[in-house]
Structure 1
């Protein structure tokens, strides 16, 4: 079974993926795949530079993700341009890695699962839900963003209500970290029981 894990920015997707992995699931984070594809020599590197110019490079010639992020989260057209470059190579790599991983459940953290129309790639979709206030505080702390920048990043994503209608299962992340991890383990055991 291939499970698509998604949710808003700073909702707890990475924590959920790590916990599924600890339970024994094969795990793949598409943000990690995207980083590798955008590194110098990667299939998306030259397309990103061509689209956004050398201003997105750091002193070593690598793409500076924070510079690029400021550009793409400030403009819908810039974000779409980046997605047009990166999504095909990320999807190709995801299919390659998922197919080459043997048996058992495979959980793929796909932040833009619904935005990119990837639900057909998965047997089951799980949406991690966290309140906007929690997302804002995590984003500010984790990324060092101002409140305005954090709100802009949240607003750039598909509304939660739209994602909720598309998801097979919604995982609420509103308690403690340990409580959320316990709930992930429960979901994993349920998946094992149904033979995923």
Structure 2
């Protein structure tokens, strides 16, 4: 077990490996206000500065609220694999990358606004859809373009997210909801979630996964990594840290232990 200083949080260690799926273009941006309140190591801990050892915000015997778990990390760290592990354990998962694609679906007002803003940049594919790879190249080298893109697409992503979260809560008011949020820390959204899980890995692994999965060049992969906050700087904000260096079975084991710990802590909070 490794203990690290993160305000009043503690950390522990486990394992995992990942199949990478590209992060959504841009990040969540200022459109995101407060969310509804209702190869060898994996670290985990609860936020002792907010919950102590349990989620004890409610009186004993009451019905537990929905628990929101944010999964964050860098491009190629293994966030999507971690979310799939949570899904297999019974958690509800919201994929913000999928919502980003839905926001700019063919014929949508958001896609029209993006195309109009980037006129002349050749970001429209032959089938009329958004050429995400070409747009990614633009925003990795131009911070202003990246900011403009965020302004255009984030309100719609947030609307879709709120709709999906509300639908889950309506049917399953005490659900465990896992949300993949790539730039959670950069945007200061960590306190909008009950638990934060950081998927960490080595920079070299991130880069090789990006090249393999995205079909991009080594230079393109590095350009994407260069505009992201280093994973090391995100560690103090996490309740659980999974160092994703090994095979997928290790990731499954790590996520399983984390999920069990969260469930046990919630149960303690209801019965204390």
TM-score (norm 1): 0.93
SS in 1 for 2:72: strand
Aligned mates of 1:83, 1:69 — CA distance in 2: 12
1:83 and 2:83 correspond: no
1:108 maps to 179
Mapped to 2, the partners of 1:123 and 1:96 lie a distance apart of 19
The equivalent of 1:37 in structure 2 is 103
State whether structure 2 residue 206 is matched by structure 1 residue 135: yes
Corresponding residue number in structure 2 for 1:95: 162
Which secondary structure does the structure 2 equivalent of 1:56 belong to? coil
Shift in CA distance, 66/122, structure 1 to aligned 2, threshold 3 Å: same
Structure 2: gaps spanning 5 or more residues: 1-66, 268-272
Say whether the 8 Å CA contact 1:3–1:123 is kept in structure 2.
yes
Say if 1:8 and 1:56 are closer, same or farther in 2 by CA, change over 3 A: same
Q: Is the 8 A contact 2:71 2:181 kept in 1?
A: yes
Conserved? CA contact 1:25–1:106, under 8 Å = yes
1:1-196 alignment, distance < 5 Å: 1-53=67-119, 55-101=122-168, 102=172, 103-195=174-266
Q: Deviations over 1:155-190 (max 9, x none)?
A: 111122332222232121122221111101111111
Query: Hey, what's the Cα distance between the residues in 2 that align with 1:19 and 1:129?
Result: 16
Instruction: Report if the CA contact (8 A) 1:43-1:89 is conserved.
Output: no
Shift of 1:43: 4.4
The whole-number CA distance in structure 1 between the counterparts of 2:230 and 2:248 is 24
Between 1:164-173 and 1:5-14, the stretch displaced more is: 164-173
Q: Distance in 1 between matches of 2:110 and 2:189?
A: 19
Q: 1:149 offset after TM fit, Å?
A: 1.0
Uncovered stretches (5+) of structure 1, i.e. residues with no partner:
none
Distance 1:189 1:107, change over 3 A: same
- The superposition leaves residues 58-85 of structure 1 with CA deviations (integer Å, 9 ceiling, x where unpaired) of 1121111111111111211111111111
User: SS of 2:141's equivalent?
Assistant: coil
RMSD (CA atoms) = 1.5
Distance 2:99 2:232 in 1: 27
Contact 2:240 2:258 in 1 (8 A): no
Q: Aligned equivalents of 2:238 and 2:153: distance in 1?
A: 24
